[in-house]
Amino acid sequence: MNTLHLRAAIGLLQGIALYALYRASNHIGWLALHPMLFSPLLLAAASLPLLCQTGLDAMRPSRLAAWLAALAAVVAAVGAHDRWRAGLENIARPDLMPGASAVLGGGLLLFIAWPLILAGEGERRWRAAYPAYFDAAWKLGLQLALSSLFLGVFWLILFLGAELFSLVGINGLRQLIEQSEFAIPASTLALSAGLHLTDVRPGIIQGLRSLLLTLLSWLLPLLAMLIAAFLALLPFTGLDSLWKTGHASALLLGASALLIFLLNTAYQDGRQASGRVIRLSQRAACLLLAPLQALAAYSLALRVGQYGWSPERVFAACCVALGACYAAGYGWAALRRSPGLPGVAAANVGAAWLSLALLFALLTPLADPARISVSSQLARLQAGQANADRFDFDFLRYRGLRYGHAALLRLRDEPGMNVAIRRKAADALSEDKREAKPKTPAQAVRPRGQTALPAGFLAQDWKLAAKRAPELPSCLQDGGDECDAYVGDYSGGGKAEVLLAEKLPARWSLFRQDAHGQWTLAATYDLPGACQAPLDALAAGRARAVAPRLPDLEAGGLRLQPRYPRAERECPAPRK
């Protein structure tokens, strides 16, 4: 089997695995009830096949399998911890999908680790030469970017073709691409094709990389000049205006990250000759990074001293530690005055390994930002540094995850704790319990005499149903919009039905019970604009079933419903 067929097989298997997980998430089964298993499987199925395809020609199959198994264990640990820290036992139905921190952090961890592995395997040693690391990292990044672009254009062509066919009355292509059975495997196959095309034609990657790096390197002098001017003005302006912004740390860390990136676009693999302006800008950037990091560290220390740790400040502290590694290595390289700044390469490799350690710590209990933040805020409260009246108990309950929930239980149950603190902790916990109860997905239940919706209607899991029927009213999906509920027999079948009336859009949704007692969407009715007369009649109980003016038509296995002229669908004029 050649590489093309192997990549296609891997892409197809990835699509099948992702589709199976998608189906499992939409149906109540054993996998849907185990998020600590579902989340690792989803992360592994979404990422590891891509790494496998980029490593096919770079290492022996046995070594590739061994590295993928090791990375699978890391991904499993990250995914399982992400769902465990959410405190799944405290919510009615566990959320299967991994959180943003697990997706972004896990993806970044794999993106940094894989080029290190590829370069080492390519040179058959643990520590490869820096040009090998540089080539592997940029090749992987550009391959993923170009393959994603290829996937986007692939779907653009499919949608365009579907619209063209629909113009002549052929809707088969549109119905096909709307099916998840086709969409998911087709996407993974297209992504595999993009990875293969960018791999077998290395000239595309090298040419694009050279052009991109050359263009970006000429932005380094501009950024270095602006940062130097900013630092030169600080002795005259002071630091107060910087701290008043409230986001000085983020701004300084962002400037540092951009400076590091542009410096490396000019440095490349350390072997390219560059002009005098670029060389001076590289040396200046190496020296400017240290004061930027010092300011960021000082700003962060002030915030932590005032307000304690938060998840964002924990992330910022890791960025400061990583930036300090870059600043120390780059500063030493600039002060040595060696031609070509060879110390930059060593600093980049060291920072890559440090970033892997920091990411793994953040994504596991070792340095979980929620755990550190909860411990810090709890210590401030117990030490009297934070007033109980102003303390954010909601942070413990909703952002502190399982650590915050455990902290609230300790605050509520500890006998020697301040009475006000115990009461507020109990209020936060009881508020959570109240919110866990099912909510009525309606602003009012009508008509008069009807006081509540049927019990089975409220008990049904509408969020799960919305995944299979996205046309459900928004008040059933997330409760964000309001709608009125009307209980009655609207189809003339002799059984109670529920009609939900949305305000925006002006639409009614009729729900009936099937043979198994499940409430399902039977039909929707669109109202012509802001028409009040039908709502008044519905509220008064005067809505009734009438025979259709024209029957439905059946053609080719499809049931077609009549659509009347516009004048027939306008809101009637009010009676005088």
**SS3 of 379-417:** HHHHCCCCCCCCCCHHHHHHHCHHHHHHHHHHHHHCCCC
Q: How far apart are CA 510 and CA 475, in angstroms?
A: 14
> How many CA atoms lie within 13 Å of 185's alpha carbon, on the beta-carbon side?
13
Mean pLDDT of 18-43: 81
50 class by beta-carbon count within 10 Å (0-12 exposed, 13-18 middle, 19+ buried): buried
At residue 1, does pLDDT exceed 70?
A: no
Closest CA relative to residue 159, chosen from 125, 189, 183, 185:
183
Mean pLDDT, the chain, integer: 83
Find where tokens 């299979």 sit: 468
Instruction: Give 89's pLDDT tier (boundaries 50, 70, 90).
Output: very low
Mean pLDDT of 468-472: 68
Q: Which position has the higher pLDDT, 95 or 7?
A: 7
Q: How far apart are CA 23 and CA 16, in angstroms?
A: 10
CB count in 10 Å sphere of residue 276: 7
Min mean pLDDT across 354-363, 532-541, 560-569 is at: 560-569
CA distance between the termini of the chain: 81
At residue 321, does pLDDT exceed 90?
A: yes
Residue type present at position 194: G
Max mean pLDDT among 167-171, 416-420, 431-435, 535-539 falls in 167-171
- Structural domain spans, the chain: 3-209, 218-367, 369-436, 445-569
pLDDT of residue 466: 63
Q: Indicate the SS3 state at residue 70.
A: helix
- Sequence-ordered list of residues with C-beta below 8 angstroms from that of 459, at least 6 positions apart, any chain: 438
- pTM for the model stands at 0.71
pLDDT in tens, 479-504: 556 678 888 888 777 788 888 887 66
Max mean pLDDT among 38-52, 189-203, 262-276, 506-520 falls in 38-52
Q: How far apart are CA 211 and CA 215, in angstroms?
A: 6
- CB of 522 within 8 A of CB of 505? no
**Containing H/E element for 215?**
helix 202-217
At residue 439, does pLDDT exceed 50?
A: no
Max mean pLDDT among 193-197, 246-250, 352-356, 395-399 falls in 352-356
CB count in 10 Å sphere of residue 336: 10
- CB of 227 within 8 A of CB of 288? yes
pLDDT of residue 562: 79
- CB of 288 within 8 A of CB of 234? no
Mean pLDDT of 319-324: 94
Strands 558-560 and 553-555: antiparallel
Mean pLDDT of 195-204: 84
Instruction: Give 11's pLDDT tier (boundaries 50, 70, 90).
Output: very high
At residue 309, does pLDDT exceed 50?
A: yes
